[in-house]
Chain A
């Protein structure tokens, strides 16, 4: 053994100090990663197409319901915002894929090891991903909301209505819904790792379980279903006052997103990468 190797040895002094904080850096890295794979663009395109198709179809249904011989179902004049919210039922799965893939693709390709070497704090990595996924899916929500409204309005014709203020509010609401849902998907994916498993759990949380709970007449079960993220989100989007105010629906959904992130962080900390 040679003598005293304790002091940090001679290093080139030219090395520049970091130009950004670790969280800012992690966000910038996630942003760079997201836009440097083509699948992101395909997902966005798929979201736009799905929204256009779903909104168009729902608008046609509304018109038909008003003009056919059956007098029992007559929605009357509908807001395009309602059509957009309805079209999210399907479109949300395309958008939340952005949150899902932000982590499952890292495990599938092994890049998670690079990511965690660059940002060893699991909480920081997940927060950075949540920031990027949240922002991108919110903007995507605005975009596809506008697309949905633009498609639905002419199809609805005399049965439609698009008050500027109300429509903008509806589009912003659906963007917020999508952003929170995508962050929820991100947190879950961090806990579960696999895309298929995560998607299955999401389906169960958003549709299967609440649908089976919503038995007409059994109030307790319906109340439980109201606490599920998809149902809460729909109460928020519909501007309901029952069973709770619309804002509470948003809060419930946000609570789910935060809980999923906490679960994901716990799993990332515990497990080998």
Chain B
């Protein structure tokens, strides 16, 4: 259980996390989403007692992290930076972590096994680890104390497709065991396959906190992509569709139409004698729901002229 209350972090004049209040409960995977710079990593660092909040507090199982005597038994974390010394082997890194919390050395072998790092990989110095191996080592470190709470900052970053699938299954398993699992990402599509619930940040503020299913239900309407060899014909078709009340936006080589079915577009084209090469229904993805949610915050960040909302 992670409890965040009115958490605020300012770096000089910039506000990275702004009055954030949210609970992350056990037994489910919570996706922590937001565009780059939204404040996800900063929030996680505050939960882990690394950054000092400007205001508010973050509690783990009801206590501030800095007061935990054996924190690895309570919270496991993977941060965006691996935190492995370039000259120290991954194995020694884990061993030092284990010793600090009174965890027997054999547990190091267990977690190395769990994340699929063999003897040779674990013996490599930090600087020789590939991105994916570093991620796996970080996850191994998070699992050392078999903690009931896990914070993973962009865990799929740098993993191959196998690794991504593994993380997905693994985090699901951890949540099913009743643990609290918080995973950050800036890819909604990734969360779509992993999370039960999503907490969305935009410019440090809470933008959404809802079960994934609710977000999917609320996603924008589907659209239809239309392509054809005759620009004039397409223009006529577009005008006709617009007159019918559909939203039409021209793009290179065709139109994107929202608010009508592909069948209706096809019928109209036949009626008007417009040749078509493509007629594709496009289901709105969760990604779009996400973009819509955070659009305000992103636009704001990019300034009034540079806004790229779609």
Contacts and interface: CB of A to CB of B under 8 A. Distances in A.
User: Is B truly associated with A?
Assistant: yes
Contacts of A270: 52
Contact of A18 (B27, B67, B73, B141): B73
Interface string B50-87: 11100000000100011111111100010101111111
Contacts of A2: 25, 27
A37 B49 CA distance: 27
Interface stretch (A21-29, A73-81, A154-162, A238-246): A21-29
Interface residues of B, number: 50
A110 interface: yes
Given A16-B104, A120-B68, A37 B99 contact: no
A56 B77 CA distance: 52
A177 B26 CA distance: 53
Interface in B87-110: 87-89, 92-93, 95-97, 99-104
Nearest to B98: A29
A45 to B, nearest CB: 16
Interface in A238-273: 270-273
B181 to A, nearest CB: 11
B99 A117 contact: no
A94 B44 CA distance: 38
A39 B61 CA distance: 40
A116 B50 contact: yes
Contacts of B68: 120
B102 A120 contact: no
A252 to B, nearest CB: 33
A109 interface: yes
Contacts of B95: 32, 36
A120 B66 contact: yes
A18 B70 contact: yes
B102 A25 contact: yes
Contacts of A33: 85, 88, 92, 96
Nearest to A118: B100
Interface residues of A, number: 46
B96 A32 contact: yes
A200 interface: no
Contacts, number: 139
Interface centre among B1, B26, B85 (most CB of A within 10 A): B85
Interface in B129-152: 141, 145-146, 148
B29 to A, nearest CB: 14
Nearest to A112: B83
Nearest to B79: A113
Contacts of A17: 102
A20 interface: yes
B69 A32 contact: no
A121 interface: yes
Given A5-B26, A25-B100, 18 more contacts: A2-B27, A8-B61, A9-B27, A9-B179, A11-B146, A16-B103, A22-B69, A28-B100, A29-B100, A32-B99, A33-B85, A33-B96, A37-B87, A114-B84, A118-B101, A119-B100, A120-B67, A121-B69
- Sorted nearest first, the 5 A-B pairs with minimum C-beta distance are A18-B102, A9-B178, A36-B92, A29-B100, A114-B83
21 contacts: A8-B61, A8-B148, A9-B177, A15-B146, A20-B99, A28-B99, A28-B100, A32-B92, A32-B99, A33-B96, A36-B88, A36-B92, A36-B95, A38-B87, A109-B126, A111-B88, A113-B79, A116-B50, A117-B49, A117-B72, A118-B97
